[in-house]
Amino acid sequence: MNNEPIIEIRGLQKNFGSFTAVKDVSFTVNKGDVFGFLGPNGAGKSTTMRCMLSLIKPNAGQIHIFGKNLFEERNAILAKVGSIVEKPDFYKYLSALKNLEIFARISGAAVSQKTIYETLEFVGLSGREKDKVGGFSHGMRQRLGIAQTLLHQPELIILDEPTTGLDPQGIIEVRDLILRLKHEQNKTVILSSHQLAEIEHVANRMVIINKGQTIIEGSVSELMNAQETILSIELLDKGQQALEFLQGRFSAGKAVLISPKKLELTIERNLVPTLNAALVNAGFEVVALEPKRTLEDFFIQMTQS
Amino acid sequence: MLWKNTYNEFIKILAKPRSYIGLAALTLLICIILFAMKADGRMYISFVTASFEQTLSFNGNILNGNLIAFIVLQMLIVHIPLLVALVTGDLLSGEAAMGTLRMLLTKPISRSQVVLSKLIAAAVYTFILVIWMGFLALMVGRWVFGSGDLIVLNSDGLVILNDADVLWRYGLAFLVAYLALLTIATLSVAFSAFADNSIGPIVSTMAVIILFTIIGSLDVSVFDSVKPWLFTTHMASWRSFFNDPVPWSAIWESIWILLAHNILFVAIALFKFQRKDITS
């Protein structure tokens, strides 16, 4: 990863009649990022993504991808982008292979049959290439959608809600695919998702938007660590003594004894290792430390504030 | 990119079952007409010739392939627009409904190239329909009923065309009929650029044809200035090739008006589609 910007969006605005879907969205995606794009329903995520792919023309704002203005050099930019918006839709009356051939033909790159078969294998659809897409499960279509994004070896991959409707196994498969794209192919990936845990698992940077506006942008770990978390501490014994030990020692909120062996306190995430060391040095036998605040809590806090 | 996507469009049209509905319907209808004419054609012809038999004597093979082709053209040219619109009205809006338009437009192909490739595919499909109709009506008709002079009854009276003088007229008549059907194709593609569902453009196209046809047939002076400019007025101009002498100036006028409509509908489709937000 480096700080070479791949996507720069500034002051994006889109109105549909009198309804403002996107009011003021700005963020930057750097090369090699897996970038999480978060926001509640109706926040303007899909509209922003559609603007990034020139499916929708914004009323105001700038979109630069690979340093070029999207609306001036659309075709040159899209030749280096693979995307799924909302859900991958295919020609159901055609086979997976024919569908990929159709999209490959207009991808702006020379895609060989060998590449198509290799891509199908990469997404786990090898052997199903001659089957009509109409008979595919949702998960298979999602994987075919990812295959379609990869055919022309794009530098940037845009995935809008790539795990929507998938079962837990499918979610894990897509998550693994995204991580493989990052680690094996060094792609820049931007993904939006309602599976907030998924962003936490795969993204290194993120932006949260709400009501069409950017709320916060930054590194996932920094944003998470800068936030207070409810820490659940499980000890072998001496819960009451640990509670007294911790009172006033860490600047965050008050500690609460949940059971004789378990207590909870509010603390900044980056202080958790220090707290652990302090407890151990004081002779407490720590069984488990579990931060209870997740990205989901963070997301809710951000979007409701 | 235009030709690559045009090739894609052919693959899609070939794979879609509805593309064959038109060809199958045409084949069935023409076979029914041929069968009916074979079974009871002499009676049908006698209705037409009866009023002339006091002054004229008809000898030879009147019920021949040339006449059958004329009857087929006359009967079907009214219905073929529906068969054309069924496929062409679906080209843009059907993809919007399926969600594939969204996929297509995230590729490095311009919107005008998408529209033009679909229009080329629509034009070729319409051409195939007309060629198939011509083959079945004229070639199969001649094979089943044999050849002979063509007797045509039009508003000026009875026209008898020598067998040797007929084929070129059919060739040009089919070309003009094709231009008329191409107008239907471009109209339905233009409607298709506005819609996000398949059925809307097909119904809208048929509604326009019905409306214009009614206006054209109403004997009311208020529409007299409008009628010559309606494309439906010129859809039957192929018939003019079976007049003697051929009214070339009227035919050219029809051709220009149909061409102007085609250009207008293509321009509307391009204008609308370029500015359309893809929200489907």
Residue B164, pLDDT score = 87
Across A6-10, A268-272, B78-82, which has the greatest mean pLDDT? A6-10
Look up the pTM and report it: 0.82
User: Rounded mean pLDDT of A69-82?
Assistant: 93
In this structure, is residue B19 part of a structural domain?
A: yes
pLDDT band at A1 (very low <50, low <70, confident <90, very high): low
In this structure, is residue B190 part of a structural domain?
A: yes
User: Rounded mean pLDDT of B19-45?
Assistant: 85
Residue B280, pLDDT score = 79
- Alpha-carbon distance of A215 to B259, in angstroms, equals 55
> Between these two residues, B184 and B38, which has the higher pLDDT value?
B184
Which chain A residue is nearest to residue B98, measuring alpha carbons?
Answer: A89
Q: Name every chain B residue with its beta carbon within 8 A of the beta carbon of A88.
A: 103
Question: Among B204, B232, B202, B177, which Cα is nearest to B21's?
Answer: B202
Q: Using CB atoms, which residue from A85, A94, A102 is nearest to B106?
A: A85
Given an 8 Å threshold on Cβ–Cβ distance, is A94 in contact with B103?
no
In this structure, is residue B280 part of a structural domain?
A: no
> Between these two residues, A39 and A62, which has the higher pLDDT value?
A62
Residue A188, pLDDT score = 92
Given an 8 Å threshold on Cβ–Cβ distance, is A102 in contact with B279?
no
User: Rounded mean pLDDT of A75-103?
Assistant: 92
Q: Would the pLDDT of A192 be above 70? A: yes
Q: With an 8 Å Cβ cutoff, is B38 touching chain A? A: no
pLDDT band at A104 (very low <50, low <70, confident <90, very high): very high
Q: With an 8 Å Cβ cutoff, is B274 touching chain A? A: no
Question: Among B96, B80, B77, B76, which Cα is nearest to B201's?
Answer: B96
Segments making up each domain of chain A, as ranges: 5-218, 227-304
In this structure, is residue B279 part of a structural domain?
A: no
Q: Name every chain B residue with its beta carbon within 8 A of the beta carbon of A75.
A: 108-110
Question: Among B221, B247, B264, B3, which Cα is nearest to B114's?
Answer: B3
Q: With an 8 Å Cβ cutoff, is B171 touching chain A? A: no
Given an 8 Å threshold on Cβ–Cβ distance, is A74 in contact with B110?
yes
Q: Would the pLDDT of A299 be above 80? A: no
Q: Is the dihedral of CA B143, B144, B146, B150 positive or negative?
A: negative
User: Rounded mean pLDDT of B187-215?
Assistant: 91
Question: pLDDT for B64-116, tens place per residue?
Answer: 888 888 888 887 777 888 888 888 888 899 899 888 999 999 999 999 999 99
CA distance A65 to chain B (A): 14
In this structure, is residue B185 part of a structural domain?
A: yes
ipTM: 0.82
Q: Using CB atoms, which residue from B4, B102, B105 is nearest to A89?
A: B102
Question: pLDDT for A220-259, tens place per residue?
Answer: 877 766 666 778 889 988 888 888 888 777 755 677 888 8
Mean pLDDT estimate for chain A: 86
Total domains in chain B come to: 1
Domain around B45: 2-274
- Is residue A189 within 8 A of residue A157, CB to CB? The reply is yes
Which of B 74-103 lie inside 8 A of A, CB atoms? 98-100, 102-103
In this structure, is residue B90 part of a structural domain?
A: yes
Q: With an 8 Å Cβ cutoff, is B8 touching chain A? A: yes
Given an 8 Å threshold on Cβ–Cβ distance, is A55 in contact with B278?
yes
Residue A195, pLDDT score = 65
Q: What is the fold, at CATH topology level, of the domain defined by A5-218?
A: Rossmann fold (3.40.50)
The answer to whether domain A227-304 has CATH 3.30.70 is: yes
